Structure 1
Amino acid sequence: MTNKFQMSMMGEMNFFLGLQVKQTEDGILINQLKYTKELINKFGVQHMKTVKISMNTNWKVDPGMEGKSVSSTKYREIIGSLLYLTASRSDIAFAVRVCARYQSDPTEAHMDATKRILRYLKGTQNVGLWYPTDEIFKLLGVAARYSQ
């Protein structure tokens, strides 16, 4: 019996529904490194500084936040992209869902919150889900052990 997924005659699985899958003797790593890099470039944060947390815990996000309104279409595009990324990045799920509440009338402050999440992702691109093959199963978020 093998610890790897088997895909009949297709060989070892590397990508599945946009998720990158890396299988080793120690376990399986699932992440979205390629997609994360695309988001960072697409939404223009590649030259911004990274941040250590995805949402400032002292910051209150609410519908009446001051600031000019921004394009709800652009805001929804960022939120949709980030929601897709939460499939392998549970560390951003809370922050993304808080920001997703304000899609109908986002302000500059709401947009800044989404950019902060993207800046966090820039500094943590290799993070993914690690499923070890040992007997004791613990779900761990770890940096990728391979490069794209």
Structure 2
Amino acid sequence: MGELNFFLGLQIKQSEKGIMIHQQKYIKELIKKYKLENSETNDTPMGIATRLDDDPSGTCVDQPMYRGMIGSLLYLTTSRPDISFSVGLCAGFQANPKESHLKAVKRILRYLEGTDDLCLFYPRSDSFDLHGFTDADYAGDLVNRKSTSGMVQFLGPCLVSWGSKKQNIVSLSIDEAEYVAAAACCSQFSTLRYFDQTLEQRKICEIETGTWNDQDELIASEVPRYGKVRDNGNKAKRAFNTILV
């Protein structure tokens, strides 16, 4: 059958150094479909000050078109974890999209147009250490004040899992939001270990999250599955050395 080069919209290039996966062709087709070829590109998928809500006084836009754009962007997150948070935020307004929501979606598309050459690279490696990074956007949802968890997991130097998801509960503090995000990352670690039987049963994994303070230390000390807690000082980060059981 030959070497795999294209699969369900994913372009794959194999070399002696490793494997590259991207969706450049799909991005170009998407830009052409929504007539954004001559638009100015953006450096980020979403502005720092952008806060989306229901916008009840805003002008309604074509719902099928908006849903189609969101569906296409969600498929792009297969190889573009950098847009996961922005697309997830815009996806929450598919029931009644407004011009402000469509503007945010088009910004994501313009960002993709300028970064269509980015790819996932999986180098050759004999390292099977699991490392996870997680953070939370505390009360970032203006509709119901829920926080959003974001996480990535690496197997050695290779990015194998990522996600951005609104939390099921309304966190009452930044500490609680960070804790929920870290717990979700631990759960994902357990799933990865189940699928990779080559990992030792007591493989030590590291999870690094956002802001660290005394309250975090108190919470962490009450959770038996977490090992030692490391304070990174001026970097304002925390890390858990977690043993999967």
Q: Same fold (TM over 0.5)?
A: yes
**Structure number with higher relative contact order (C-alpha < 8 Å, ≥ 6 residues apart):** 1
What is the aligned residue count?
Answer: 131
Alignment of 1:1-148 (within 5 A): 10-64=1-55, 66-136=57-127, 137-139=156-158
Percent identity (aligned): 50
Distance 1:100 1:87 in 2: 16
Distance 2:80 2:14 in 1: 18
Report the TM-score when normalising by structure 2.
Answer: 0.52
Match of 2:219 in 1: none
Distance 2:49 2:110 in 1: 18
Report the TM-score when normalising by structure 1.
Answer: 0.84
Using the TM superposition, give the Cα deviation of residue 67 of structure 1 relative to its aligned residue in structure 2, in angstroms. Answer: 2.5
Gaps of 5+ in 2: 128-155, 160-245
Structure 1 contact 37–122 (Cα < 8 Å) conserved: yes
Aligned Cα RMSD in Å? Answer: 1.2
Using the TM superposition, give the Cα deviation of residue 128 of structure 1 relative to its aligned residue in structure 2, in angstroms. Answer: 1.4
The one-letter amino acid of 1:118's match is L
Distance 2:19 2:57 in 1: 45
Structure 1 contact 99–113 (Cα < 8 Å) conserved: yes
Instruction: Answer 1 or 2: which has greater strand percent.
Output: 2
List per-residue Cα deviations over 1:18-62 (Å, max 9, x = no partner). Answer: 211000110000011110100011111111000000011201111
Higher alpha-carbon Rg: 2
Using the TM superposition, give the Cα deviation of residue 68 of structure 1 relative to its aligned residue in structure 2, in angstroms. Answer: 0.7
SS in 1 for 2:119: strand
